[in-house]
Chains A and B, each alone.
Chain A
Amino acid sequence: MRTRWYALVAVAALAALAAGTLSPASGQNPIVVGASISQTGRLAVTATYVLQAYQLWVDDVNAKGGLLGRPVTLKVYDDKSDPGTGAKLYEKLIVDDKVDLVAGPYSTPVSAAASTVTEKYKKVMVAPMAAGDALWKRGYRYLIQTLTPSSLYYIGVVDLALERGLKTIAFMSEDSEALRVATPAAADLAQKKGLKVVHNEYFPRGTTDFSAMLMRIKALGADVLVCGCYEPESVLSVRQSKEIDYSPRLLFAGHGAAVPEFYKALGKDAEFVLASDHWDSRMKTPGNAEFVERFKKKYGREPNYHAAGTYGGMQVFEAGVRKAGSLDQDKIRQALGELDLVTIFGRYKVSETGGQIAKTSIIVQWQGGKKEILWPGETATAKAMLPAPPWAERR
């Protein structure tokens, strides 16, 4: 019942928003961009960031004089967080509404269902929030990824370790599709660059006791510990390495360590811990600061990576259409295949399959209760505080 209420509140909020933002386009014959967004259902709360980013992008494009000399409007339907409904809506957008461009829905499941429809009609779909690498192994041509691919999640850690002259590295990762890709990619790079991989182990999702694993790694004396972790495991692995008094000189605890809850749970023990993240509002990508400013002004809240990733994805789409110089889907697909640019979200370049190959995670470190960006270097906000002091020497 509670989700029902959230849904109602979300619907009301969106209705209020829509009244203010869906203003009629200037001029005639606008380019219509169609998408389905989970405005109700279990994904609705996060999906509003996606919708708001779409709307902000439309505003910005129109302020610049539109696309191909025509104003842009957005046609959005609610997929109720249901992939089946999403597929139906993309049929409607393409067959019935005959929209000019198709943008992706919020979640991976809905993208999976919707991309089958867009592929059938040979419509390019830039799917800013679709994460599963499996989506790009289906042999589809018209689906474009702009989010970080899992193979590039952790590679920054290797660079940082080498910079500080560290010698050995140990991995322990959750057994999931993304980390089964992310971990070997980082381990391979480490090996290639002369960092010795002393341990590499996967644990099942939901593991709560890491002490045996950490004892083995401690015995090996690894300088660097990489935990391929999401939120609960990030906290637990750090806490337990302190309990057994294992002090890696560089402790990296995955995507789960980048959220504010991580610091709240660990307090001072979170200091010196490294984490990976898709995006940060201080990243020095072109236009990022302005994006954050405009988003805050328009919606009264901080954008998150969902908003930034969506906006960045649409910047890619926009560049593709401009480069193609027409709405011909095959020309746009070709342009998107050739493009290599930096959006507010980071770099964009895709392989033959449309899967992203250039966007990396950023690596951050908790310093004095704040996250500082360490890597990549051009976007850093602080120097790495490494090696981390042993637990015993901290206050």
Chain B
Amino acid sequence: MPRALLVGLVLAGVGAVPLVANNYVLSVLISLAMFTGLAYAWNIISGYTGYLSFGQVTFFGVGAYTAAILIIKLHVAWPLAALAGGVLAAFLSMPLGWIMLRLRGPYFAIGMLGLSRIAERIAFAWEPVTDGGRGLYLPPVLDLRAVYWAVVLVGAALVGITSLLDNSRFGLRLLAIREDEGGADNLGINTTLAKLQAFVLSAFFPGVLGGIYAWHVSYIDPVMAFATQVDLTAIVAVLLGGAGTVWGPLIGGVTLSLLAEFLWARFPFIHTALFGALVIATVLFLPKGLADAFRRRGWLAPGRAFLRRLAARQAPQEAAPE
């Protein structure tokens, strides 16, 4: 199948980068992949379901702390520790989602923001476990290649999952909730369950990425683990790329990271201001994101290709009994 071949080639190409790139390029690519992954995770709950979350960083931080503690105290291998971070984040997201998803619109957004602030306070206060404001020191990472592969693997998994989601009944259910939650409920969709599933999915991956981040940076403290900045960057990436689409987070994440890197190298003293201006401009002129603009120009195929094919095939069958 040419499609599978293409996917395989792209993956092989991306995976082979560390064999030629130096460590600086790798560290840029790690943060690029990290933010693209976070953008994908945010896209699941906020892009598809329409529940704008300003607190997914809570799960990033939980993952970071879980992994750090497992590595320091139990000497767990770091990939396992990162995975455990994701699992704990997912478990934690179940009761939290059950409570928080009763809120809608701005209330949910603000509620999630509050949740992340509470998580930060807990990390400060729970000194016996987190060492409070002093932070946790991890053993140094001397080989960036493994970190790169891990982050890229998580990113690729997220692209795959989003693509499956986009072409599934589950994805359609989430979109229905986004468009009209009451209507979706009337059509027999178990909206509570669907929202919760999306929420857990979008908590697991930040947890894993948080674990990898803690390992990569080799130090973690409450402020950096629960930084609102992490959420904002992911949100901007998704908005720029296109919310609720398969390729939006990738386009947004890559564009933003490269742009930030370019601006920062050229205009060291005003790069944040320029960056902000660009974000405002894109939101004003491309409200549906770059993915939509690309699609209208025919550079990108419309989403839900599988469902479209299915619909196209069913049409003649339905005409037959007449």
Q: Which A residues lie at the B interface, using CB under 8 A?
A: 7-8, 11, 14-15, 18, 39-40, 42, 76-78, 80, 82-85, 87-88, 91-92, 95-96, 108-109, 112-113, 116, 119-120, 132, 134-135, 138, 140, 175-177, 205
Q: Is B134 an interface residue (CB 8 A)?
A: yes
- Which of B142, B227, B268 has a CB less than 8 Å from the CB of A120? B142
Q: Is B273 an interface residue (CB 8 A)?
A: yes
Q: Is B31 an interface residue (CB 8 A)?
A: yes
CA distance A112 to B216 in the complex (A): 12
* CB atoms of A83 and B219 under 8 A apart: yes
| In the A-B complex, the 5 residue pairs with the closest CB atoms | A112-B219, A15-B269, A95-B24, A116-B140, A116-B218
* CB atoms of A88 and B135 under 8 A apart: no
* CB atoms of A88 and B270 under 8 A apart: no
* CB atoms of A95 and B22 under 8 A apart: yes
* CB atoms of B269 and A112 under 8 A apart: no
State how many angstroms separate the Cβ of A212 from the closest Cβ of chain B.
Answer: 22
- Which of B23, B132, B272 has a CB less than 8 Å from the CB of A95? B23
Q: Is B224 an interface residue (CB 8 A)?
A: yes
* CB atoms of A11 and B135 under 8 A apart: no
* CB atoms of A92 and B269 under 8 A apart: no
The answer to whether A96 and B22 touch (CB under 8 A), given A87-B27, A87-B216, is yes
B141: A residues at CB distance < 8 A: 116
A95 closest partner in B (C-beta):
B24
Q: Mark B129-162, 1 if CB is under 8 A from A, else 0.
A: 0011011010011100000000000000000000
B140: A residues at CB distance < 8 A: 116, 119-120, 138, 140
* CB atoms of A113 and B217 under 8 A apart: yes
- Which of A84, A119, A177, A205 has a CB less than 8 Å from the CB of B224? A84
The answer to whether A112 and B24 touch (CB under 8 A), given A14-B269, A18-B269, A88-B31, is no
* CB atoms of A88 and B27 under 8 A apart: yes
CA distance A135 to B137 in the complex (A): 8
A108 closest partner in B (C-beta):
B135
CA distance A392 to B125 in the complex (A): 39
What number of B residues sit within 8 Å (CB to CB) of A?
A: 33
CA distance A230 to B261 in the complex (A): 39
Can you offer 22 A-B residue contacts whose CB atoms are under 8 A? A11-B269, A39-B269, A40-B272, A78-B268, A83-B219, A83-B224, A84-B31, A87-B216, A87-B218, A88-B24, A88-B31, A95-B22, A95-B24, A109-B219, A112-B135, A112-B137, A113-B219, A116-B140, A116-B219, A132-B135, A175-B127, A177-B134
- The residues in B between 194 and 224 inclusive whose CB is less than 8 angstroms from any CB of A are 213, 216-219, 221, 223-224
Q: Mark B250-285, 1 if CB is under 8 A from A, else 0.
A: 000000000000001000111111000000000000
- Which of B23, B26, B217, B269 has a CB less than 8 Å from the CB of A84? B217
**Interface hub of A84, A91, A138 (most chain B Cβ within 10 A):** A84
CA distance A207 to B216 in the complex (A): 36
A19 closest partner in B (C-beta):
B269
* CB atoms of B24 and A92 under 8 A apart: yes
A135: B residues at CB distance < 8 A: 137
* CB atoms of B269 and A134 under 8 A apart: no
- The residues in B between 14 and 65 inclusive whose CB is less than 8 angstroms from any CB of A are 22-24, 26-28, 31
B269: A residues at CB distance < 8 A: 11, 14-15, 18, 39
CA distance A29 to B279 in the complex (A): 39
Q: Mark B165-198, 1 if CB is under 8 A from A, else 0.
A: 0000000000000000000000000000000000
* CB atoms of B270 and A134 under 8 A apart: no
CA distance A7 to B268 in the complex (A): 14
A-B contact sample (15 more), CB < 8 A, given A80-B229, A82-B224, A134-B134: A11-B273, A15-B270, A78-B264, A83-B221, A84-B213, A88-B27, A91-B23, A95-B24, A108-B135, A112-B135, A116-B141, A116-B217, A132-B134, A138-B137, A175-B127
A40 closest partner in B (C-beta):
B272
State how many angstroms separate the Cβ of A315 from the closest Cβ of chain B.
Answer: 26
CA distance A108 to B134 in the complex (A): 9
* CB atoms of A87 and B268 under 8 A apart: no
CA distance A359 to B100 in the complex (A): 51
- Which of B24, B134, B213, B270 has a CB less than 8 Å from the CB of A91? B24
A175: B residues at CB distance < 8 A: 127
State how many angstroms separate the Cβ of B151 from the closest Cβ of chain A.
Answer: 12
* CB atoms of A113 and B218 under 8 A apart: yes
CA distance A14 to B268 in the complex (A): 10
The answer to whether A82 and B216 touch (CB under 8 A), given A95-B22, A119-B140, is no
* CB atoms of B272 and A84 under 8 A apart: no
CA distance A18 to B270 in the complex (A): 11
CA distance A8 to B270 in the complex (A): 8
- Which of B142, B217, B272 has a CB less than 8 Å from the CB of A87? B217
CA distance A138 to B219 in the complex (A): 11
A204 closest partner in B (C-beta):
B127
A8: B residues at CB distance < 8 A: 272-273
* CB atoms of B268 and A77 under 8 A apart: yes
A108: B residues at CB distance < 8 A: 135
CA distance A82 to B233 in the complex (A): 13
CA distance A88 to B141 in the complex (A): 13
CA distance A78 to B263 in the complex (A): 12
A83: B residues at CB distance < 8 A: 217, 219, 221, 224
A134 closest partner in B (C-beta):
B137
* CB atoms of A109 and B268 under 8 A apart: no
